[in-house]
Every structure is written in C-alpha cells, then in structure tokens.
Amino acid sequence: MARTRVAPDFAVRRDTARCINCKACVRLCANGVHVWDEVAGAPVADESKCVGCHFCEEHCPTRALSIERAPAETTSGGHWTRSAIRGIGRQAETGGILLGAMGNDRPQMAYFDRLVLNAAQVTNPSIDPLREPMELKTFIGSRPDRIEIARGAGGRPRLGAPLPPLLEIETPIMFSAMSYGSISLNACRSLAGAAGEIGTCWNTGEGGLHPDLESCADRAIVQVASGRFGVTPEYLARAAAIEIKVGQGAKPGIGGHLPGGKVTEDVSRTRRIPVGSDAISPAPHHDIYSIEDLKQLIFALKEATRYSKPVGVKIAAVHNVASIAIGIVHAGADFIAIDGIRGGTGAAPSVIRDHVGIPIELALASVDQRLREEGLRHRVSIIAAGGIRSSADVLKAIALGADAVYIATAALVALGCHVCRTCYLGKCNWGIATQDPALTRRLNPEVGQTRAANLLRAWSHEIKEMLGGMGVNAIESVRGNRDHLRGVGLSQVELDLLGIKHAGSPW
Ligand code: SF4
Ligand code: SF4
C-alpha cells in the first residue's frame, strides 16, 4: 500500500531577487527548515518542517522571505475541514494523539465578540480620565460577613477581629500560570519583572520558584498542583498568594506532562525532580476526592503560612462550574480562578483542548450569579481566564462578574510569540517556550519586561478611557454590573445565561 503523505502546513516563499545568500535563515531556524544547498549555492527550504513561527521572515535582512499557509491539497468543505482532514492524515501515519498548544481557536466560542459596552450621554456625563482620578486598584481575597468593632484604649474603636489577608493589585490584570520549564527563564523573568513594575502579580505555575526569581516572589502567586513540584515551606512563605491548581481550561480533567527533554539541570533543581525525567502531574490530586479534602488542603496551606496570604483554587470551566464554585467557597478558598475553554497551554491533546469545557463568559456569569444568590459573593474573589485578548475583553469580563483577569497568551505575544502553536516541540524560535540555551538567549528579559509592562499599561489606560466614557470613576462600579453590557445576535437562552439584555433594550 502506498504511504500517505501529509502535505506541509506552510509554504516558504523566497524572493531570489532579494536574497543575498547571507545564510541567516539557515543559522536561525531551530526547526531546520532552511538548509544550504552547496550545489545551488543558495538556501533551500524543507517546508514539511515549518511551524509558521515567522521568525525567519522577520529576521531576513532583505525581507526576501514570506511564510504563507499552504494551499489545501484536498477539497475541504464546511464539515470536512482542512484541519480535520490533516489530523486524520497525521494519525493514520503515526497512530498517536494529536498535540496542540496555546488555546482553542474556534470562532463559536468567542462570546466577548458578541458583547458591547455602554457609554454615558447627557444625563450621566462622562468623565475625562486625564483630568479626573480613575481607580483600577483591586483587592483579591475574602471579605468577612461583617466587621466587628471593639473598644480599645480610651474607648477608641478598633477592629474586633483581624480581616482576612487581601492581595492588592494596581490593575485588575495579572499574568496567568506559566511554569519555568514550559517557558524559558528569560520569559519568566520578563513577566515577573513586569508584574513588579506595574504592581500586579505573576504566577509560577506548577514548576516551582527558580532562585533567580525569588526577588520577585512578593508579587508571585505560587501554585500547588497535583505533582507538588517545587513545593516547600519556603516556597509558600515567599509568595504573595497561593493557588491550588485543580484544573486548566485547555485540558480539563487531565494532568500535565513536561517532557524529559525540557527538564534541564536548572529545571530539575527548581522542580526537585531528576534531570531528563518526565514531569507528570496526575489528573487528580491524590489527596483530594471531595470538598472536605480540598478544605483540608486549604487549611493546611493557611496554617503553613500563618493565615498571612490568600489561598485560592484554580478550576477549568465545566458544565457544573457554579456548584463547584459554591463548594470551593465552603472549603475556605479566598479566590477562585476560572479558566475557560480558550485557555492556553504549552501542550495538550488537541481533541481535549478543542472540545472539553465551556467558554469563560458563560462560566463567569453563572458563577457570579449563583454566588450572589447564595449570599456568598463577598467571601471570594473571582479571577477569569481563558482567551482574554484586549482591554475590552478585560472590562467585559469584569462586568460579567470577575474581580480580575489572568492573561497568558496575550502576555507571550507581547514577548514576541507568533502563536505558531508548537510550544510542545521545545524549539520556540522566539526564545519563549524552550529550554535550549541558544534559543532562550534570543529573549532579552529587560526588553521582555518593558514590552509586557507596556501591554499592561496600555490596557489599563484603555480601561480608564472606557470607564470614563461610561461615566464611572472606579473599576469597582462595573464589577458584576451587567447593565453595562448588551448582547448582539445572541439567543434568549444565551442572554439569560449571561444575565444581560439584547442590544437595543433600555435599562
Ligand atoms: S535570511 Fe533572507 S537573505 Fe539571508 S539567506 Fe535567508 S532568505 Fe536569503
Ligand atoms: S511560545 Fe513560541 S512555540 Fe509557543 S506558540 Fe509562541 S512562538 Fe510558537
């Protein structure tokens, strides 16, 4: 039987009139796409190796290269799409699971694009954020049911009981969990530095805290995941907050797997596992099979850190997310991070990434609504994650009920990522999702920090502009206030789930 050939995804176009045979593309491409042809005395491309990261295109000194999607080699249609046909071709060749990285990119999942924000006109005048103070400061954590006032010396009033610890951030945008190992140390340095510069938080992911990042630990949310990689009393003590990772939007219900090839000496020290061994996070925490078990872990982490920092739980957005959230609040969590179906990853089975879970917009609205109905909303902060692409997405998420958002893919794009979706190969030409020293050097952490901080600054400015236009001067006023939103082209069921009216409806 003839072997089926899977045609390349990308076509490498080289303008020979512009090419000066400098060999930069041959030297730079970690995937080995460009090779020097001695006979021709010119570079040639092996298109089957191209992942579409566009690194060569952007670094060719004469702009002789362009990387384009290859034309479909089969007649694809609305149902038998190009990716379905290619996926079958690859699986017929390898017999393996198809892997993917970054988030689900299916257009039907983007409810943010069907939501519009309000603006003030005439009776509720808008505010000029350049002249008036505009507050984005956000506190993450649990609020008490009531504040007890006692009488101190001289009858002066004082707090009768200490308040739960709160995480204070200057803008409601934080960097989501990305472990050292899945991304390079320079990428971690960039994000950690930017979080410190702006006054927000970054997240270690489940990879432990590298010694070089300890100086940024006061702005770190540290994860405790099922693999417990790098979790020590010092790790917990240094953090600003602790996050128990139960689920992830890109791969709900399954664990994680960092291939041994990415577990370098440095990664092994940080994760406290042998060099070259696969870092496997089991799908469940083997000590959590009930809300009671989760409560014990939250209690243990709070005891270990003397109740000095918020302890939260990260879950994937799934069908019964609101009920799960209620259980998490009763277990004593100070915040819940909900990661929607568009959440990013360094590696996940594509079939799970694309078909398991629900969009963050629907999950967020239902959790916020349910917590309000149960009188529990003040007991917990909600962090929304999974496909946040712009300041408008941030503000819409907050109007749907989030206290703050996590961004990951957007942060990596700020560092140079071109969303080629092959992070799992460990050959990221942009020096982000790789541990290859020759590649990681390509990302200058100072430049990365500036770019990531600029992104947060720009989005924060835009949020202030939108708030001013809405006639409000504090992000707090928009939180869970769905009157600021209207839906466009959504069914009544979708509108009801989101808790909003259709565009054109009056107050
Ligand atoms: S980098 Fe550009 S100019 Fe240099 S060899 Fe490659 S295609 Fe030619
Ligand atoms: S981080 Fe690198 S490998 Fe991953 S999608 Fe971005 S450019 Fe591609």
The predicted-structure confidence for 234-260, as pLDDT tens digits, reads as follows 999 999 999 999 999 999 999 887 778
Residue located nearest, by CA, to atom 6 of ligand 1: 25
The per-residue pLDDT for 498 is 97
Which ligand ends up closest to the CA of 23? 1
Place of tokens 């005048």: 125
Residue located nearest, by CA, to atom 2 of ligand 1: 60
Tokens of 33: 């796409």
Find the mean pLDDT for residues 222-241. 94
What is the rounded distance in angstroms from the CA atom of residue 477 to the CA atom of residue 150? 30
The per-residue pLDDT for 70 is 84
What is the rounded distance in angstroms from the CA atom of residue 369 to the CA atom of residue 366? 5
Sorting pLDDT into bands at 50, 70 and 90, what band is 1? very low
pLDDT above 50: residue 2: no
Of 34-38, 153-157, 350-354, 397-401, the one with minimum mean pLDDT is 153-157
Find the mean pLDDT for residues 133-161. 91
Express as a percent the part of the chain with pLDDT over 90. Answer: 79
Ligand 2: centre distance to CA 418 (Å): 6
Domain positions in the chain: 10-96, 168-477
Judge whether 484 and 118 are in contact, CB under 8 Å.
yes
Find the mean pLDDT for residues 221-228. 94
> Which ligand 2 atom sits nearest the alpha carbon of residue 55?
7
* Residue with more model confidence, 270 or 198: 198
CATH annotation of 168-477: 3.20.20.70
pLDDT above 80: residue 116: yes
What is the rounded distance in angstroms from the CA atom of residue 377 to the CA atom of residue 371? 5
Ligand 2: centre distance to CA 242 (Å): 27
Mean pLDDT of the chain: 93
Sorting pLDDT into bands at 50, 70 and 90, what band is 489? very high
The per-residue pLDDT for 259 is 74
CATH annotation of 10-96: 3.30.70.20
User: 389 by DSSP, 3-state: which?
Assistant: coil
Among 13, 16, 22, residue to substitute to test ligand 1 (most atoms within 8 Å of Cβ) = 22
Among 12, 15, 21, 54, residue to substitute to test ligand 1 (most atoms within 8 Å of Cβ) = 21
The per-residue pLDDT for 76 is 65
The per-residue pLDDT for 73 is 59
pLDDT above 80: residue 476: yes
Tell me the CA distances in angstroms from 137 to 126, 170, 199, 360, one per residue in order. Answer: 20, 4, 10, 23
> Which ligand 1 atom sits nearest the alpha carbon of residue 59?
1
Residue located nearest, by CA, to atom 8 of ligand 2: 420
Residues with beta carbon inside 6 Å of ligand 2? 53, 101-102, 412, 417-423, 428, 430, 432-433
Among 51, 105, 417, residue to substitute to test ligand 2 (most atoms within 8 Å of Cβ) = 417
Tokens of 437: 């020293």
What is the rounded distance in angstroms from the CA atom of residue 259 to the CA atom of residue 305? 32
Judge whether 486 and 502 are in contact, CB under 8 Å.
yes
Among 62, 63, 429, residue to substitute to test ligand 1 (most atoms within 8 Å of Cβ) = 62
Give the ranges where 95-202 is alpha helix by DSSP (H). 185-198
> Which ligand 1 atom sits nearest the alpha carbon of residue 15?
7
Ligand 1: centre distance to CA 11 (Å): 16
Residue located nearest, by CA, to atom 7 of ligand 2: 417
Cβ of 23 less than 6 Å from ligand 1: yes
